[in-house]
Structure 1
Amino acid sequence: MSAKGGSSPTRAQVAPMGSGRYRFMVGVVLVALAVLVGRIVDLHVIDRLFLQGQGDARTLRVETIDAHRGMVTSRHGEPLAISTPVVSLWANPQELPSDDIQRMMLARALGMSLADLNARIERYAEHEFMYLRRRMTPADAQPILDMRLPGVYAQHEYKRYYPSGEVTAQLVGVTNIDDKGQEGVELAYNSFLAGQPGKRRVLKDRKGRLVRDLHLIKEAKPGGNLALSIDLRLQYMAYRELKAAVDEHNADGGTLVMMDAKTGEVLAMANLPSYNPNNRAELDANGLRNQAITDAFEPGSVMKPLAMSAALETARFSPETVIDTSPGWMRVDNFTIRDFRNYGDLSMAGILLHSSNIGMTRVALQLEEDAVWNRYHELGLGQAPGTGFPGETTGSLPTPFDWSDSKRASMSYGYGVAVSALQLASAYTAIANEGKRMPPSLLKLPSPPQGEQVMSPRVADDLLHMLEAIVQPNAGGSRAVVPGYRVAGKTGTVRKVTQTGYQQTAYRSLFAGIAPVTDPRIVTVVMIDNAKKGDYYGGLVAAPVFGRVVGKALRLLDVLPDKKEAVE
Structure 2
Amino acid sequence: MLVGGALALCAVALVVRAVDLQLVDNAFYQRKADARFLREVPIPTSRGMITDRNGEPLAVSSPVESLWANPQELANNPAAVARLAEATDLPVDYLTRYISQRREKEFMYVPRHRRINPAVAQKILALRIPGVFSQREFRRFYPQGEAVSHVLGFTNVDDRGQEGVELAFDEWLSGTPGAQKVIRDRHGRIVEHVDLVRPAEPGRDLVLSIDRRIQFLAYRELKRTLLETGAGSGSVVILDVATGEVLAMANLPSYNNNKVSGLNRDAYRNRAVTDLLEPGSTMKPLTVAAALEAGVITPATRFDTNPGWIANGRYRTSDFKNYGVLDTTGIITKSSNVGVSKIVKLLPDRDFDAFLRRFGYGASTGSGFPGEAAGIFPTPESWYGTTKQTLSYGYGISVTPLQIARAYATLGNHGRAVTPTFVKGGHSGESQQVLDPRVAAEVMRMMQTVTEPGGTATRAAILGYHVAGKTGTARKSAGGGYSRRYIAYFAGLVPVERPRFAVTVVINDPDPSGGGSTYGGGWVSAPLFARVMEGALRLMDVPPDDIETWLAAQAVEEAKRAKAHAAATPRTTASAGSLAEAAQ
Query: Normalising by the residue count of structure 2, what TM-score does the alignment of the two structures yield?
Result: 0.88
Q: Is the 8 A contact 1:335 1:406 kept in 2?
A: no
Matched, 1:520 2:499: yes
Q: Is the 8 A contact 2:333 2:454 kept in 1?
A: no
Q: Percent identity?
A: 45
Which residue of 2 is the match for residue 3 of structure 1? Answer: none
Which residue of 1 is the match for residue 576 of structure 2? Answer: none
Which residue of 1 is the match for residue 550 of structure 2? Answer: 566
Measured in 2, the distance between the counterparts of 1:195 and 1:142 equals 26
Q: Is the 8 A contact 1:561 1:567 kept in 2?
A: no
**Which amino acid is the alignment partner of residue 56 of structure 2?**
E
**Which amino acid is the alignment partner of residue 126 of structure 1?**
E
More helix by share: 2
Query: Normalising by the residue count of structure 1, what TM-score does the alignment of the two structures yield?
Result: 0.90
SS across alignment from 2:210: coil
Instruction: Look at both structures and tell me which one has the larger radius of gyration over its CA atoms.
Output: 1
Measured in 2, the distance between the counterparts of 1:301 and 1:124 equals 62
Residue of structure 2 aligned with 1:494, choices 469, 474, 480: 474
Shift of 1:369: 1.7
Kindly report which structure 2 residues correspond to 1:278-317, keeping only aligned pairs within 5 A, or say none: 278-281=258-261, 283-317=263-297
Kindly report which structure 2 residues correspond to 1:196-235, keeping only aligned pairs within 5 A, or say none: 196-235=176-215
Q: Is the 8 A contact 2:43 2:177 kept in 1?
A: yes
**Which amino acid is the alignment partner of residue 257 of structure 2?**
P
SS across alignment from 1:135: coil
Alpha-carbon distance change, 440 to 406 in structure 1, aligned in 2, over 3 angstroms = same
Alpha-carbon distance change, 151 to 114 in structure 1, aligned in 2, over 3 angstroms = same
Q: Is the 8 A contact 2:359 2:434 kept in 1?
A: yes
Kindly report which structure 2 residues correspond to 1:100-499, keeping only aligned pairs within 5 A, or say none: 103-132=81-110, 133-281=113-261, 283-401=263-381, 403-445=383-425, 449-498=429-478
Alpha-carbon distance change, 218 to 99 in structure 1, aligned in 2, over 3 angstroms = closer
Once structures 1 and 2 are overlaid, which stretch shifts more, 290-299 or 120-129? 120-129
Measured in 2, the distance between the counterparts of 1:28 and 1:553 equals 95
Matched, 1:548 2:548: no
Q: Report the count of equivalent residues.
A: 545
Matched, 1:557 2:550: no
Q: Is the 8 A contact 2:183 2:190 kept in 1?
A: yes
Alpha-carbon distance change, 209 to 27 in structure 1, aligned in 2, over 3 angstroms = closer
Q: Is the 8 A contact 2:365 2:374 kept in 1?
A: yes
Which residue of 2 is the match for residue 16 of structure 1? Answer: none
Kindly report which structure 2 residues correspond to 1:3-82, keeping only aligned pairs within 5 A, or say none: 48-82=26-60
Shift of 1:524: 0.6
Measured in 2, the distance between the counterparts of 1:169 and 1:451 equals 30
Shift of 1:552: 1.5
Q: C-alpha deviations, 1:289-320, integer Å up to 9, x for none?
A: 11101111100100100111110112221100
SS across alignment from 1:269: strand
Q: C-alpha deviations, 1:298-352, integer Å up to 9, x for none?
A: 0010010011111011222110011122222222444432222322221111111
Q: What runs of 5+ residues in structure 2 fail to find an aligned partner?
A: 553-584
Which residue of 2 is the match for residue 14 of structure 1? Answer: none
**Which amino acid is the alignment partner of residue 545 of structure 2?**
D
Shift of 1:559: 1.5
SS across alignment from 2:71: coil
Which residue of 1 is the match for residue 564 of structure 2? Answer: none
Alpha-carbon distance change, 408 to 99 in structure 1, aligned in 2, over 3 angstroms = closer
Question: Could you say what the CA RMSD is over the residues aligned between the two structures, in angstroms?
Answer: 2.5
**Which amino acid is the alignment partner of residue 436 of structure 2?**
S
Matched, 1:537 2:520: yes
Matched, 1:84 2:67: no
Alpha-carbon distance change, 234 to 283 in structure 1, aligned in 2, over 3 angstroms = farther
Shift of 1:88: 0.4
Q: Is the 8 A contact 1:470 1:476 kept in 2?
A: yes
Q: C-alpha deviations, 1:421-451, integer Å up to 9, x for none?
A: 1111010012211111222111111667342
Measured in 1, the distance between the counterparts of 2:39 and 2:293 equals 72
Q: What runs of 5+ residues in structure 1 fail to find an aligned partner?
A: 1-18
Shift of 1:114: 3.4
Once structures 1 and 2 are overlaid, which stretch shifts more, 223-232 or 116-125? 116-125
Q: C-alpha deviations, 1:348-396, integer Å up to 9, x for none?
A: 1111112112211111111122222111111111111111111101011
**Which amino acid is the alignment partner of residue 263 of structure 1?**
T
Alpha-carbon distance change, 378 to 40 in structure 1, aligned in 2, over 3 angstroms = same
Alpha-carbon distance change, 332 to 529 in structure 1, aligned in 2, over 3 angstroms = closer
Measured in 2, the distance between the counterparts of 1:327 and 1:142 equals 80
Once structures 1 and 2 are overlaid, which stretch shifts more, 392-401 or 166-175? 392-401
**Which amino acid is the alignment partner of residue 236 of structure 1?**
F
Alpha-carbon distance change, 321 to 249 in structure 1, aligned in 2, over 3 angstroms = same
Measured in 1, the distance between the counterparts of 2:285 and 2:427 equals 29
